[in-house]
């Protein structure tokens, strides 16, 4: 399933410089493509960093790095003197670099400083940059852990290049002519390709032992004290979500876009139980509580806590569908196309809860 989803992803976005260089390494030196990708990936991420800070910060969150939640509308660390706090924190726990935040061998950083950093609920550009750097470091760490588990080579010399890179000019030429390079977010330069290959050849990183906690699924992405049983009963769920859906319907950006979908979606919530239907199939979008006199095009069943996280922008619907955390019936692909329309709602939901006097329900 993971390989399939990856294939779907890069069939839509195409691939970039990592694959371009790896194709060349495979053609010239016969290095297996997957291995070449793994070795080259963090180096190309570093090359692309300045153009992709926000997306790399999101990757850091997805990889479970204990770092401030990345949000676009957070208060500035500079304005609240929190940047100074972070600096003092780093000094206090003697963290020499971001690599210590993601390294399994740095228990002090992982156990103390990383959790303290993760408790901050707002970020600015400085923190986003550090999170992006941490994402790259995490990829290097994962490679080192894979090497420990599988004996995977960690540099191009170990991968089979035995001529001291005599054919590096041929590798660079082949890479620069590869169609994958057209889709890289930063225009590839020949000298950059050569530098990346040389760095990957001369790298001296060592395998990294894997801790038991690293092998437990879901641990990295789960936060201590995560909210559960958010809605005390069905009445509370209806009170919150019905009002919120009415807010979305009236929103000048979301409402018209939702109406154009002509989609009728029914949400069936569990723990506590509730049924809400959003019917945009008629002239006017209707929000219906409980029994619905019609035939929804899509029915989605989910835990109420998942819905709460989703509207915070902290739960991935596609992943949830894959893992059967959400069970869908009907025209699911059409429903997935709703996600870009609903994205602005992630910013509205926390403010909506605050306005209703339910600030304690906001996931910080």
Q: Domain coordinates of the chain in residue numbers? A: 11-215, 234-361
Helices (H), 251-330: 254-260, 304-311, 317-322
Which pLDDT score is estimated for 112? 45
d(CA 296, CA 265): 6
Quick one: which of 285, 270, 275, 291 has its CA closest to 241?
Answer: 275
Which homologous superfamily is 11-215 in? Answer: Dehydroquinate synthase-like - alpha domain (1.20.1090.10)
Q: What is the mean pLDDT of the chain?
A: 82
Which pLDDT score is estimated for 216? 54
pTM more than 0.75: no
Q: What is the pLDDT of residues 299-319, one digit of tens each?
A: 999 999 999 999 999 888 877
Quick one: which of 165, 87, 93, 160 has its CA closest to 130?
Answer: 87
Q: What is the pLDDT of residues 37-48, one digit of tens each?
A: 999 999 999 999
Q: Does 234-361 match 11-215 at the fold level?
A: no
Q: What is the pLDDT of residues 244-270, one digit of tens each?
A: 999 999 999 999 999 999 999 999 999
Weakest-pLDDT range from 57-66, 101-110, 206-215: 101-110
Number of C-beta neighbours around residue 127 at 10 A: 22
Number of C-beta neighbours around residue 195 at 10 A: 14
d(CA 330, CA 337): 14
Which CATH architecture does the domain made up of 234-361 adopt?
2-Layer Sandwich (3.30)
pLDDT category at 95 given cuts 50, 70, 90 is very low
Weakest-pLDDT range from 65-69, 89-93, 168-172, 186-190: 89-93
pLDDT category at 98 given cuts 50, 70, 90 is low
pLDDT category at 206 given cuts 50, 70, 90 is very high
pLDDT category at 337 given cuts 50, 70, 90 is confident
Average pLDDT over residues 220-244: 80
Q: How far is CA 17 from CA 2, 34, 190, 333, in A?
A: 22, 14, 11, 31
Percent of the chain whose predicted confidence (pLDDT) is above 70: 79
Q: Is the pLDDT of residue 331 over 60?
A: yes
What lies within 8 Å, CB to CB, of 155 at 6+ separation is: 39, 200, 201, 202, 203, 204, 205
């Amino acid at each position: 399933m993971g390989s399939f989803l990856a294939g779907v992803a890069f069939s839509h976005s195409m691939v970039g410089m990592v694959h371009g260089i790896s194709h060349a390494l495979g053609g010239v030196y016969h290095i297996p493509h997957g291995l070449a990708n793994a070795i080259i990936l963090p180096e190309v991420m570093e090359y692309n960093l300045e153009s992709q800070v926000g997306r790399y910060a999101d990757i850091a969150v997805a990889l479970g790095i204990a770092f401030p939640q990345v949000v676009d509308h957070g208060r500035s660390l500079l304005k609240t003197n929190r940047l100074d706090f972070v600096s003092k924190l780093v000094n206090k726990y003697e963290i020499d670099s971001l690599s210590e935040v993601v390294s399994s061998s740095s228990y002090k950083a992982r156990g103390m400083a990383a959790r303290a950093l993760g408790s901050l609920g707002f970020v600015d550009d400085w923190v986003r940059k550090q999170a992006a750097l941490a994402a790259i470091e995490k990829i290097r760490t994962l490679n080192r852990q894979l090497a420990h588990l599988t004996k995977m080579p960690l540099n191009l010399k170990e991968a089979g290049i035995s001529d001291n890179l005599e054919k590096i000019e041929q590798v660079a030429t082949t890479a620069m002519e590869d169609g994958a390079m057209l889709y890289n977010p930063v225009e590839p330069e020949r000298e950059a390709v050569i530098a990346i290959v040389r760095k990957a050849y001369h790298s001296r990183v060592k395998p990294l032992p894997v801790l038991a906690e690293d092998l437990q699924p879901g641990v990295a992405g789960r936060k201590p004290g995560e909210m559960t049983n958010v809605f005390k009963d069905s009445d509370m769920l209806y009170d919150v979500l019905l009002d919120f859906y009415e807010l979305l319907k009236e929103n000048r950006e979301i409402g018209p876009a939702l109406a154009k979908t002509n989609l009728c979606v029914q949400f069936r919530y569990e723990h506590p139980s509730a049924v809400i239907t959003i019917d945009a199939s008629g002239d006017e979008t209707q929000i219906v509580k409980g029994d619905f006199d019609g035939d929804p095009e899509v029915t989605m069943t989910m835990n109420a806590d998942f819905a709460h996280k989703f509207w915070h922008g902290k739960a991935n619907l596609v992943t949830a569908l894959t893992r059967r955390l959400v069970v869908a019936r009907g025209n699911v692909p059409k429903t997935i196309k709703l996600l870009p329309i609903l994205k602005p709602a992630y910013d509205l939901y926390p403010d909506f809860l605050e306005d209703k006097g339910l600030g304690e329900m906001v996931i910080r």
